[in-house]
Amino acid sequence: MELNEFLSKFKEQYFDAESIILDADDNFRDIDSYDSLTGMAILVMIKDNFNIDITDEDYKNLHTVREVYNYIQDIKK
């Protein structure tokens, strides 16, 4: 999966996805509508698409969509 497709799937996890602007280098937690449910939805999307479980500790250390994407790519190698 390319970064742009991942970004699109990532953005879909926000309940107000149509009205937010999210770029690969944005801190996804800075979006006003980000909450614990959004975080859980992101983790489920990653599990469903990549069969990867991100630990809570690792997830807390990821701040941008690109960092999450790169994390997944590193695990897939």
Output the CA–CA distances (angstroms, integers) from residue 37 to 15, 34, 41, 43, in the order listed.
10, 8, 6, 10
Q: Specify the pTM.
A: 0.93
The predicted-structure confidence for 15-25, as pLDDT tens digits, reads as follows 999 999 999 99
Q: Over the stretch 25-45, which tens digit does the pLDDT of each residue have? A: 999 999 999 999 999 999 999
Complete domains list, the chain, with CATH: 3-76 (1.10.1200.10)
Place of tokens 């500790």: 57
R_g of the chain, CA atoms, integer Å: 11
The per-residue pLDDT for 77 is: 76
